[in-house]
A and B are shown apart, each in its own frame.
Chain A
């Protein structure tokens, strides 16, 4: 009797434990995706209200042999409440591309609208926004790394918490929904204090670790918005790297929708 009872108790306990484990892993699995999405939504909410900004950027491209070349750009961004952000990138150097400008109207779910202004011909050209994986101006940054990434275009998963320097970071995995992305997934380190991105590992379609982005320092603007000063993108396959220096942030430019039209694109310089 005692023996049977004991057996029943043991079986019951085992079943309960198994059930709890199953339930717990199910909960954990759900939590990981939900938690991932929640963190990026919180991060977006945390930076909300910047309205618009202008910044100058310098890209220092280094090849395997250490040979350098530079790109100068000016980037303007307009925050959008109901749709994706609008951005304007004006090329300043090399001088042969000076005045060339790219206008993007990002969308939350459908394809982005993109136009290129070619000053030599005074021509505005609608371009395909399917060009996500190509190098931006010959650098190690792809077009998809330069344009605002809308949350709706990715699936997210929280992987773990990890210390990053003196901070603690969430380690998140994001997988693109779009088939035209050059990546199978990106793994990002986001700090828990201020939702700043410190590192991203990019995996190509064959899941090879292709590139690593490292952000070295941040500045806070308007007492709220954190923006990076310097980023380094290293390509592990080619040995090339690009240093992106971001400066002269102006959050008081008061840009509006009319600064992001095809007519204003022709005035960009």
Chain B
């Protein structure tokens, strides 16, 4: 992967030099970014003796920005994490390394991004359902919100009829999974060495995606299409070279039609994400077409009792038509949360969220808080609790992995 990333960088550099005027005196370069140190403490001991209760981790994430005289730019954002206990969590990735070009054509504007980039689709808070361009960097966080860089050519076309986007995704990236000494992992362990692919082209399969989006007054909508390798693997039981049982990821070819919409009126935000997907295997390893949705609302109490606090109340329902055969934990769940934005000089925020499975006993509590403690230093605390996890729930092996994390981020 590392070699591939560097190869892309070289290609990018060439594109940059070919496409745009030679680097002149008006070139603008900026380097900034952040580094962090964090510690996680697990409230219970791991199911296996070699899984420790605490770990310390360091990250480096610089951003390099080079702009030429015509405002086209090269954006590079490597990411490295060192983890004291889990060797699989110690990893390097290029979150971004792309050339950005834009211009006008008649009454339309266009934008082209070539290289490794991250793209976000969606509107909901509890789960990012339609978001599919980038692979999840699962070793980063159990909620799956951290994404790996994806090689792509991304063309946007904007005019009065809306925004049309086309993505060519020439290289597939496998999901990361915690290693033997890591917490928040499955039992048996996932063995990515043995991953299987429905397509004979494996990683080289060309995935295609497109998106149409537009705003109509208070309503923002996005319509998306994806055809290619599923970012979510299914698993089969196997054995590794030492004869121990392992889970082998299988990556299938899928088609996904997605819709995301948000309607804003006053302090109310109504949100929905919906997709229909075919080609994926369900929890009993049968191919099953299905749809899933995350829908709900957010209501914001601005300047509560004149305290300058904003309190956001969120309710979302999560549903998967495969029901008990779904291979996600959120097949029929209710999410409720509140977020307090203190609007103070330190940008203090606090979030408390609660997931309740409506089919099973499973509950999750998520807690996040942040505050600037010095000019360039931000402090974050977060916690995820796995409570009463039902033994048939895909989260079952995380039952003992409730944790508390504290993180200091230094920005430069």
By a beta-carbon cutoff of 8 Å, the part of chain A in contact with chain B is 61, 63, 69, 94-98, 110-111, 113, 121-135, 137-138, 180, 182, 204, 258, 261-263, 267, 269
Contact = CB atoms under 8 A, between A and B. Distances in A.
A204 B303 CA distance: 12
Contact of B344 (A129, A131, A138): A138
B266 A138 contact: no
A69 B267 contact: no
B34 interface: yes
Interface string B213-229: 10101101000000000
B345 interface: yes
Contacts of B268: 128
A269 B220 CA distance: 23
Contact of B372 (A94, A111, A262): A94
B247 interface: no
Most buried by B among A69, A96, A135: A96
Nearest to B30: A269
Given A130-B300, A135-B308, A267-B111, 14 more contacts: A61-B345, A95-B34, A98-B411, A111-B266, A113-B215, A113-B218, A122-B119, A125-B123, A126-B123, A126-B264, A128-B266, A130-B267, A263-B158, A263-B163
B376 interface: yes
Contacts of B308: 134-135
Contacts of B378: 96
Nearest to A240: B345
Contacts, number: 104
A258 B412 contact: no
B285 interface: no
A242 B215 CA distance: 35
A42 to B, nearest CB: 31
A10 B412 CA distance: 85
A138 B347 contact: yes
8 contacts: A94-B376, A95-B412, A96-B372, A127-B264, A131-B267, A180-B266, A263-B163, A267-B111
Contact of A258 (B100, B109, B310, B411): B109
B104 interface: yes
Interface string B345-380: 111000000000000000000000000100110100
Q: Is the interface of A mostly helix, strand, loop or mixed?
A: loop
Contacts of A123: 120, 122
A15 B142 CA distance: 85
Given A63-B345, A133-B302, A122 B163 contact: no
Nearest to B160: A257
B108 to A, nearest CB: 9
B69 interface: no
Nearest to A136: B343
Nearest to A139: B345
Interface residues of B, number: 47
B395 interface: no
A267 B156 CA distance: 12
B203 interface: no
Contacts of A131: 267, 300, 302, 310
Contacts of A63: 345
A263 B111 contact: yes
A86 B151 CA distance: 34
A135 B303 CA distance: 9
Interface in B395-412: 409, 411-412
Nearest to A123: B120
Contacts of A132: 302
B269 interface: yes
Contacts of A126: 123, 220, 262, 264, 269
Closest 5 CB pairs of A and B: A95-B411, A138-B345, A123-B120, A135-B343, A96-B378
Contacts of A113: 215, 217-218
Contacts of B310: 131, 134
Nearest to A129: B264
B163 A262 contact: yes
Contacts of B291: none
A69 B375 contact: yes
Contacts of B109: 258, 261, 263
Contacts of B163: 261-263
A83 B47 CA distance: 63
Nearest to B342: A138
B346 A133 contact: no
Given A61-B345, A121-B120, A267 B100 contact: yes
Contacts of A261: 109, 158, 163
B212 interface: no
B32 interface: yes
Nearest to B219: A126
B167 interface: no
B102 interface: yes
A125 B102 CA distance: 22
A90 B268 CA distance: 25
Nearest to A63: B345
A267 B118 CA distance: 13
Contacts of B217: 110, 113
Interface in B266-300: 266-269, 300
A122 B411 contact: no
Contact of B375 (A61, A94, A180): A94
Contacts of B123: 125-126
Nearest to A266: B111
Given A138-B346, A261-B158, A262-B215, A130 B375 contact: no
Nearest to A179: B266
Contacts of A128: 264, 266-269, 300, 302
A110 B218 CA distance: 10
A182 B32 contact: no
B65 A269 contact: yes
A95 B119 CA distance: 22
A125 B123 CA distance: 7
A128 B111 CA distance: 28
B378 to A, nearest CB: 5
